[in-house]
Amino acid sequence: MITLNLTLPDTSYPIHIGQGLLDQVDLLLPFLSSGKVAIVTNEVVAPLYLARLADPLRARGIDVVSIVLPDGEDHKDWQTLNRIFDVLLTERCERSTPLIALGGGVTGDMTGFAAACYQRGMPFIQIPTTLLAQVDSSVGGKTAINHPLGKNMVGAFYQPRAVIADMRLLDTLPDRELSAGLAEIIKYGLLGDADFFSWLEAHMAELRHRDMSALQYAVQRSCEMKAEIVAQDEKETGVRALLNLGHTFGHAIETGLGYGAWLHGEAVAAGMVLAASASHALGWLTHDDLARIRALIAAAGLPTQAPDLGIAQWQTLMTHDKKVQQGKVRLVLLQHIGQAVIVDDLPQDILQRVLTGADIQSSSH
């Protein structure tokens, strides 16, 4: 087991990464002093892992409340969030009762938001069951639900007490979900570590074949980078925005197609290609750089072509993004592979050509 620590001005917490951690109940016991815990999971994960987590806790005399939600991005809304509150109130859970998120990014985001809201704040722990959640959404304290007009538009910054990433939980992850997680891993190489990007090029086949040592290294490196960035900028007033590479385009895809039509990682992958294309048009990325990015995303089993939403819908959806400031769409672009920057003045002609898939020639803007 490897343990990283995310240290913030007001709190710090461990990120445990290893194999078989779900069965190491001692990792949880320091956070369960109230003698009661509520586990939030979904209909897919519950039959696989809920009993393995709950039974050892009950054997230690802990009262376990189970909350099983419907699965999918299209259920990441107020109605599903209220189901968590209904059970917490019915079971007389208190402010000191910890919530455990056992699931992917949707479950983790909703559990964290519920924990932030219920009685104005209760402790919660992340046990991510997808690769995407292990490397991204479980770390850093972003919690939210979706709104019909925009993804993750209603939420709170609220940090977990611990993150427990058990690599063996990926054994049951569908291939499509594994690829979606690889999108966020590729993102870390693109935005801040060219050597890691090269490592991913060399090891993508092992990652897709679920080689445990390769997956564990990829999760560790991704969490190291995210923890370092979040420690500098918890509330996303500066450098943390770099973690949104591909996300402004990606969120527009998810909202425009309807939540759940594309997985988050699939939309981010196509969004990263759009961001790379814009960076190439600005004269920052070379043609070879752009080709490498497309090739790695394709090798991960991810889309390299965004859907045609139409310019009007693209622009409407992108202006509803959380990263809009003073009416300007802020994009994360690439000066090089491994070096990202925030741009809020991308020329409209370049943006339109990128969004329409027009042949883009590099310029010297």
Q: Let me know: does 102 contact 39? Beta carbons within 8 Å.
A: yes
Is position 210 annotated as part of the catalytic site? no
Which residues, 6+ apart, have CB-to-CB distance to 167 below 8 Å? 17, 18, 19, 212, 215, 216, 219
User: What are the two backbone dihedrals, phi and then psi, of residue 101, each rounded to the nearest 5 degrees?
Assistant: -90, 115
User: What are the two backbone dihedrals, phi and then psi, of residue 70, each rounded to the nearest 5 degrees?
Assistant: -65, 150
Is position 224 annotated as part of the catalytic site? no
Q: Which of 73, 236, 254, 266 is catalytic?
A: 236
Report the distance separating Cα 218 and Cα 168, nearest Å.
14
Q: Which of 251, 280, 322, 323 is catalytic?
A: 251
Q: Let me know: does 205 contact 114? Beta carbons within 8 Å.
A: no
Look at residues 108, 70, 219, 104 and name the one whose alpha carbon lies nearest to residue 173.
Answer: 104
Is position 209 annotated as part of the catalytic site? no
DSSP for residue 330: P
Question: How far from the centroid of its chain's Cα atoms is residue 337's Cα?
Answer: 21
Is position 244 annotated as part of the catalytic site? yes
Q: Which of 36, 75, 76, 142 is catalytic?
A: 142
Report the distance separating Cα 329 and Cα 352, nearest Å.
13
Which residues, 6+ apart, have CB-to-CB distance to 14 below 8 Å? 3, 4, 5, 162, 163
Is position 203 annotated as part of the catalytic site? no
Question: How far from the centroid of its chain's Cα atoms is residue 356's Cα?
Answer: 27
Q: Which of 244, 266, 280, 330 is catalytic?
A: 244
Q: Which of 73, 184, 224, 266 is catalytic?
A: 184
Q: Which of 75, 76, 187, 240 is catalytic?
A: 240
Is position 16 annotated as part of the catalytic site? no
Q: Which of 75, 76, 221, 226 is catalytic?
A: 226
Is position 184 annotated as part of the catalytic site? yes
Instruction: Record the tokens describing residue 139, joined without a space.
Output: 């770390």
Q: At how many degrees (to 10) do helices 247-257 and 311-319 cross?
A: 110
Helices (H), 122-211: 131-132, 175-192, 194-208
Report the distance separating Cα 182 and Cα 175, nearest Å.
11
DSSP for residue 66: E
Q: Which of 36, 151, 187, 264 is catalytic?
A: 264
Helix (H) or strand (E) holding 11: none
Is position 251 annotated as part of the catalytic site? yes
Catalytic residues: 120, 142, 184, 226, 236, 240, 244, 247, 251, 264
